[in-house]
């Protein structure tokens, strides 16, 4: 008997694929109404569990065995060619049109993506706070493909063991119960692991296959329950209204998750149950062909192209954003349309020939061996390319040299170890000046607030003044808890550090406190005003004057990289986007400044030092100013050279505020030690 390699074609499943990929694309395109679009990946995981398990069980029921080599070969033919083409073309584009630094940062995961291990790369990579470009890795989306492929490697063996053990039962009901019991155990143990990792290693919970296997097990259980279990689950024993009801609930769970969830929430955890259960319900509802809402030809067409669209949408969007497309509706539509065009071409000329066309008949051994060989060759070529880039950087021109210098143009406090980021809540002050100085100024804030550090030693000079630096990156000077996506959990370390720091500052008896943080934190207006007010209340009691520096404007692109691209002949194609300047339209910075002004108005000794116009004169934010100084060292932090050049102007503003260094103020004589 011929072994069926696929399950019966279901249009509704293609429609469900369409819903999943649309959510993913809209979410990654930064459409506000679909901030939770990442749940589409959860839907794909459940679908994979259903389809792959069904395929394997069909084979086992017909032959009493599972041919692992044949299964892996089919997966390679189905998935690898399209992945390979996307990776190679995107990597080639990067080398032609992006700077060498961008190639290394945005393509860091390339060698892992080609071998379906990028999820391991993202789960275990050391996080560098100032490596902001890494968060826009062009192959970040391949993490989910890595999870699926790793599942495909172990699931056939594990299922074969389960089926062999269950085969001793003669009755069909007992056979199915045994398989469902095993899947239930797998579901619960994997879900428990996911929930456990959420508290200690949230990135593991998100990226690693063992903590995602419960979603595949859920899809597998749906297949067993519907196809093999002779009870009311059978379509002929269910009413059409029942199918429509559970299908509708499932769609609502998926769409509701896509709309209501967002990147500021811990995920996956229990929240991932919502779209996963929704997907299971939709699959179950459509078994008998009764839940036909997903069988519309357009949805089926999108579902057929969903894999290729998933491959292409992310790099197209990220490259567009890197080249300065700001994300307005017209540009978003163009980028999404371009990704769909590429997906259509990929499906027609790459996917289908290897999946169902004349290239699909290659023997398993040849398919597996050739795939491994291609992976190795591509990895070797990529390694060679990275070495060439490194050598080229040693022979860089003036602009490239300036860009490289700008990236490392940080305040010296980071060399002193003042900032332990998320590693510790320990208060670790850094002293600039003499410990016996008569007057003290405290600088308090995150990396955006403390980017202004270098001008203060020039204004408040030793030996009369000492400067105490208290900083923690990405830690808002707002008394509110929040989720930090870079570490995948609530930033509790920030709250602990902030509270301890506020208790420590009065012991310094400061004359002036300078406090500031970025304007990009996702607080509500009420949280900004009330959370800042609580901070200002404590600071105003600890010092004669409190100067608040609102978060400064930022770029939609990486400043130094844009200057490198502008200087590249290959980038003349994008000349219209190579001005490396933009009119800063964001109301967020201005709104947050107003929120801080409202909070400061409650205290007589709290004033705002708004430096918006210095960073972006006439609302024009430039990677390099009129004097040729590079302004930004990435997309939001200022270079230390630029900051030092602004010292005279800012000193005048401080003088107008009554905070000039020669003004008579009360002094303190507290000794400065590391505060634990």
Angle between helices 11-28 and 240-260 (to 10 degrees): 10
Q: Which pLDDT score, from 0 to 100, does residue 504 have?
A: 96
- In this predicted structure, the answer to whether residue 485 has a pLDDT above a threshold of 70 is yes
Among 167, 112, 155, 162, which Cα is nearest to 137's? Answer: 112
Mean of the per-residue pLDDT values for the chain?
87
pLDDT tens digits for 161-189? 888 776 655 555 566 788 889 999 999 99
For tokens 């949408």, name the residue: 313
Check residues 343 and 170 and name the one with the higher pLDDT. Answer: 343
Q: pLDDT higher for 565 or 261?
A: 261
The model carries a pTM of 0.88
So what's the pLDDT on residue 3?
A: 37
The model's pLDDT over 517-557, given as tens digits with 9 standing for 90+, comes to 999 999 999 999 999 999 999 999 999 999 999 999 988 88
Q: Given pLDDT bands bounded at 50, 70 and 90, which one contains residue 228?
A: low
Rounded average pLDDT over 364-382: 95
Tokens for 57, please give them: 């069980």
Residue 575 pLDDT greater than 50, yes or no: no
Residue 666: the pLDDT is 38
Quote the distance between the C-alpha of residue 258 and its chain's center.
Answer: 16
State the pLDDT confidence band at 217, using cuts at 50, 70 and 90.
very high
Sign, CA torsion 164/165/171/177: negative
pLDDT of 673 above 80: no
How many residues comprise the chain? 676
pLDDT of 391 strictly over 90:
no
Neighbouring C-beta atoms of residue 191, cutoff 10 Å: 23
Mean pLDDT throughout 432-441? Answer: 90
Q: Is the pLDDT of residue 5 over 60?
A: no
Is residue 488 pLDDT above 50, yes or no?
yes
Q: Which of 64-68, 273-277, 415-419 has the highest mean pLDDT?
A: 273-277
Q: 3-class DSSP state for residue 567?
A: coil
pLDDT score of 328 = 78
Extract the tokens encoding 642: 């630029």
pLDDT in tens, 310-342: 999 999 999 988 777 766 788 899 999 999 999
Q: Select, from the ranges 50-64, 72-86, 483-497, the one with the highest average predicted confidence (pLDDT).
A: 72-86
pLDDT digits (tens, 9 = 90+) for 18-33: 999 999 999 999 898 9
Picking from 29, 569, 566, 637, the residue whose alpha carbon sits closest to that of residue 325 is 29
| pLDDT more than 90, % of the chain | 61
Q: Where are the domains of the chain?
A: 11-368, 407-554+586-614+640-656
Mean pLDDT of 656-669: 53
Residue 665 has pLDDT above 60, yes or no: no
User: Predicted confidence band at 242 (pLDDT cuts at 50, 70, 90)?
Assistant: confident
Above 70 in pLDDT, residue 667? no
**What pLDDT band is residue 671 in, cutting at 50, 70 and 90?**
very low
Give the integer Cα–Cα distance in Å for 148 and 454: 49
Q: Quick one: tokens of 191? A: 């879900």
CATH number of the domain located at residue range(s) 407-554+586-614+640-656 in this protein:
3.40.50.1110
On the question of pLDDT at 413 being above 70, the answer is yes
How much is the average pLDDT of 594-620? Answer: 93
Number of CB atoms found within 10 A of residue 178's CB: 18
Q: What's the pLDDT score for residue 554?
A: 87
**262-280 pLDDT per residue, tens:** 888 889 999 999 999 999 9
Reply yes or no on whether the pLDDT at 291 is more than 80.
no
Pairwise pLDDT comparison (398 vs 314), residue with the higher score = 314
pLDDT of 439-476, one tens digit each? 999 999 999 999 999 999 988 988 899 999 999 999 99
Bridge partners (DSSP) of residue 582 are 621
């Amino acid at each position: 008997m011929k072994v069926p390699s696929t399950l019966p074609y279901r249009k509704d499943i293609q429609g469900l694929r369409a819903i999943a990929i649309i959510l993913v694309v809209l979410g990654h395109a930064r459409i506000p109404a679909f901030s939770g679009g990442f749940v589409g990946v959860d839907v794909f995981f459940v679908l994979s569990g259903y389809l792959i398990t069904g395929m394997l069980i069909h084979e086992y029921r017909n032959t009493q065995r599972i041919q692992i080599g044949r299964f892996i070969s089919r997966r390679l033919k189905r998935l690898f060619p399209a992945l390979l083409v996307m990776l190679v073309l995107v990597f080639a584009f990067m080398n032609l049109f992006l700077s060498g630094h961008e190639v290394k940062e945005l393509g860091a995961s390339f060698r892992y993506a080609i071998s379906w291990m990028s999820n391991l790369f993202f789960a275990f990579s050391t996080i560098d706070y100032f490596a902001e470009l890494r968060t826009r890795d062009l192959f970040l989306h391949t993490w989910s493909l890595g999870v699926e492929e790793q599942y495909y490697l172990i699931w056939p063996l594990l299922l074969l063991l389960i089926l062999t053990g269950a085969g001793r039962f003669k009755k069909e009901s007992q056979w199915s119960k045994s398989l469902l019991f095993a899947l239930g155990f797998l579901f619960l143990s994997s879900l428990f692991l996911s929930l456990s990792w959420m508290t200690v290693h949230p990135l593991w919970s998100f990226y690693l296959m063992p903590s995602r296997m419960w979603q595949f097990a859920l899809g597998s259980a749906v297949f067993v329950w519907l196809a093999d279990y002779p009870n009311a689950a059978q379509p002929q024993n269910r009413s059409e209204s029942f199918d429509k009801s559970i299908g509708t609930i499932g769609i609502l769970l998926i769409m509701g998750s896509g709309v209501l969830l967002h990147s500021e929430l811990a995920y996956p955890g229990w929240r991932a149950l919502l779209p996963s259960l929704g997907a299971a319900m939709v699959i179950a509802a459509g078994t008998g062909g009764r839940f036909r809402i997903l069988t519309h030809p357009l949805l089926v067409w999108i579902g057929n192209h969903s894999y290729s669209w998933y491959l292409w949408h992310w790099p197209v969007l990220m490259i567009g954003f890197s080249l300065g497309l700001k994300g307005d509706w017209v540009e978003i539509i163009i980028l999404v349309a371009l990704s769909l065009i590429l997906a259509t071409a990929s499906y027609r000329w790459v996917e289908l020939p290897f999946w169902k066309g004349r290239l699909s008949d290659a023997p398993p051994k040849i398919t597996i061996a050739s795939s491994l060989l291609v992976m190795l060759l591509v990895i070797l070529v990529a390694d060679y390319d990275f070495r060439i880039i490194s050598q080229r950087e040693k022979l860089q021109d003036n602009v490239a040299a300036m860009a490289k210098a700008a990236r490392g143009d940080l305040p010296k406090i980071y060399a002193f170890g003042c900032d332990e980021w998320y590693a510790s809540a320990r208060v670790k002050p850094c002293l600039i000046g003499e410990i016996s100085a008569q007057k003290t100024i405290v600088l308090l804030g995150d990396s955006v607030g403390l980017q202004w550090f270098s001008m203060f030693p020039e204004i408040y000079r030793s030996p009369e003044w000492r400067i105490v630096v208290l900083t923690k990156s990405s830690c808002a000077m707002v008394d509110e808890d929040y989720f930090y996506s870079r570490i995948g959990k609530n930033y509790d370390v920030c709250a602990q550090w902030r509270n301890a720091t506020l208790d420590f500052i009065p012991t310094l008896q400061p004359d002036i406190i300078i406090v500031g943080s970025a304007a990009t934190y996702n607080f509500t207006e009420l949280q900004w005003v009330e959370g800042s007010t609580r901070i200002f209340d404590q600071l105003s009691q600890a010092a004669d004057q409190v100067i608040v520096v609102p978060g400064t404007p930022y770029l939609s692109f990486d400043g130094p990289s844009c200057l490198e691209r502008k200087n590249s002949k290959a980038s003349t194609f994008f000349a219209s986007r190579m001005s490396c300047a933009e009119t800063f339209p964001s109301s967020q910075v201005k709104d947050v400044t107003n929120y801080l002004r409202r909070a400061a108005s409650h205290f007589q000794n709290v004033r705002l030092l708004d430096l918006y116009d210095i960073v972006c004169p006439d609302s024009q934010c430039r990677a390099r100013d009129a004097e040729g100084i590079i302004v930004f060292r990435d997309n939001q932090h200022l270079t230390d050279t630029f900051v030092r050049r602004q010292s005279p102007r800012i000193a005048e503003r401080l003088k107008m505020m009554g905070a000039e260094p020669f003004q008579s103020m009360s002094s303190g004589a507290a000794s400065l030690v590391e505060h634990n």
